[in-house]
Structure 1
Amino acid sequence: MQPSEKAKELFRQPTLLSSLEGLVVAESTRHGGVSPQPYASLNLGMNTSDDPANVAENRRRFFEALTIEPDRVASSHQIHGADVLLTTEPGRYDGYDALITNQPDLYLAVSTADCVPVLIYDQRHRAVAAVHAGWRGTASGIVSLTLKAMQEQFDTHPGDCYAYVGTCIDETSFDVGPDVAEQFGPNHKRIDPFSGKAFINLKSANTKQLTDFGIPAAHIAVSTFSTVLDNKDYFSHRHEKGQTGRMLAVIGLRPS
């Protein structure tokens, strides 16, 4: 079933992955919800100060637009760590920043508002992963750890995988202190020659973990959007000084 034009304002889908049969993959925008400022309008975050009734209605709209039953979603209270959970049941877990499963009709979701959502699909073994990669998770190699877990659990091979590196804070907007900068290699870090500030490219750092595993570059889609530069369409914790909503990135397989 194709979403209606009105439903499409609630999310965007990477063409590379959404064209694969039976795969649901999407990340929400900030449009089409009921939340007032500063959460306007499709705030899907359960750990914000928004009215829980607004969040519940927003989530209902988002999942309905994707024709997903909310009680078939698995997510976790994220802690900016690097722990990976193998899950076979929907529900709200605690303490994991990456989820993996090979169960159909189980949809994995991660919450973001500057951090990187990374969605992975093993087409041969019909297994999926949803990863929340902030700078801490990226520096800890959470994408690499997730792929290792998929390899151990599902016998995942790189050539069978497709991945999406989603919308996050862009490199020009993500200046960091020296303690953070030293955790990133030169290919993912830029030092401004005038100010001396360091800027980190989270998209490239996470893409590198995918290609280091062996996933072909042609199997990887990278969002062209920024939570800061495209703040009219996405929430940004940094740009909005913490007073903002959250997006969801979701991946899963339709039942046969």
Structure 2
Amino acid sequence: MLTKLASAAVSYRIPTLFTPFINLIAAESTRHGGVSPAPFASLNLGINTSDDAANVDENRCRFFEAIGAGRTAPFASSHQIHGTEILQTTEPGRFDGYDALITNQAGLLIGVTVADCVPILIYDQANRAVAAIHAGWKGTIGALVTKTLEAMQQQFGTSGAYCYAYIGTCIDECSFAVGPEVAEQFAPAFKQAIADSGKSYVDLKAANRKYLIDFGIPLEQIEVSPFSTVLNNDTYFSHRAEKGQTGRMLAVIGLKS
């Protein structure tokens, strides 16, 4: 389950898994508590939308303040391209071409934007390092989670036994219908054929959870959001359910200074 908090009307969720770690900031936004008008109502945190940039800036400031990072929190993110490139960063900035970020820099928040794809946040307690991952179906079949953990292992000495991982809110397995060209790239355990349609439902949460387990992260150190961007569209943005005319959430993680 998740702990739901609100500050200054900004609604967000903190994964229960991370609450014991007082040196960590980790949160997932919802769509409530911002200034954006429809169809981005209201806490749109996505830069690459047609929402007014001033609205997004104010929404981000409100979100960062609400989660305890401060309105002008040092923040690193990237223009995501549904690929498998990983950025190790020690400074804030808006980068390009990366779908995962890793850091061991205290005082720096890293994050990914989502509106159906899977956000994954990882904390390596032993080596004080974090990761934020954006895994759509391409990133999932490309094993971005595994590649990110391997990068953390190489750079920080990360091992699965000391990692805590949160698989965030995304499209659910009963809403993500794909054609055979996509379905064939997923193992049978993560897809279910839709009768007489040629399509299949794919479970992105389960597929990414398997990567975490295979790296050696204990089951009790993995939390999966019970929410869906489609089924809970009143609380979360969904690119598919809203036909592309919608905002974006942020999933962020960082070590306190």
Q: Which amino acid aligns with 1:55?
A: V
**In the TM superposition, what whole-angstrom CA distance separates every residue of 1:89-127 from its partner, at most 9, and x where no partner exists?**
111111000000001111111000000000000000000
Q: CA deviation at 1:9?
A: 4.4
In structure 1, the residue matched to 2:173 is: 171
Alpha carbons 1:71, 1:91 under 8 Å: kept: no
Q: 1:78 aligns with which of 60, 77, 80?
A: 80
Q: TM-score, normalised by structure 2?
A: 0.95
Instruction: Please give the alpha-carbon distance, in whole angstroms, between the structure 1 residues aligned to 2:6 and 2:143.
Output: 38
- The 5-angstrom pairing of residues 29-178 of structure 1 reads 29-69=30-70, 70-178=72-180
Q: 1:213 aligns with which of 215, 225, 233?
A: 215
Q: 1:186 aligns with which of 185, 188, 206?
A: 188
Alpha carbons 1:177, 1:197 under 8 Å: kept: yes
Instruction: Please give the alpha-carbon distance, in whole angstroms, between the structure 1 residues aligned to 2:6 and 2:140.
Output: 35
Give unpaired runs (5+ residues) of structure 2: none
CA RMSD of aligned residues (A): 1.4
Give unpaired runs (5+ residues) of structure 1: none
Instruction: Please give the alpha-carbon distance, in whole angstroms, between the structure 2 residues aligned to 1:150 and 1:138.
Output: 18
In structure 1, the residue matched to 2:249 is: 247
The change in CA–CA distance for 1:4 and 1:190 in structure 2 (over 3 A counts) is closer
Q: CA deviation at 1:37?
A: 0.5
Q: State the identity as a percent.
A: 64
In structure 2, the residue matched to 1:198 is: 200
Alpha carbons 2:140, 2:204 under 8 Å: kept: yes
Residue aligned with 2:155, SS: helix
Alpha carbons 2:119, 2:167 under 8 Å: kept: yes
Instruction: Please give the alpha-carbon distance, in whole angstroms, between the structure 2 residues aligned to 1:149 and 1:8.
Output: 37
Residue aligned with 1:81, SS: coil
Tell which deviates more after alignment, 184-193 or 115-124.
184-193
Q: Which amino acid aligns with 2:62?
A: R
Q: CA deviation at 1:64?
A: 0.8
Q: TM-score, normalised by structure 1?
A: 0.96
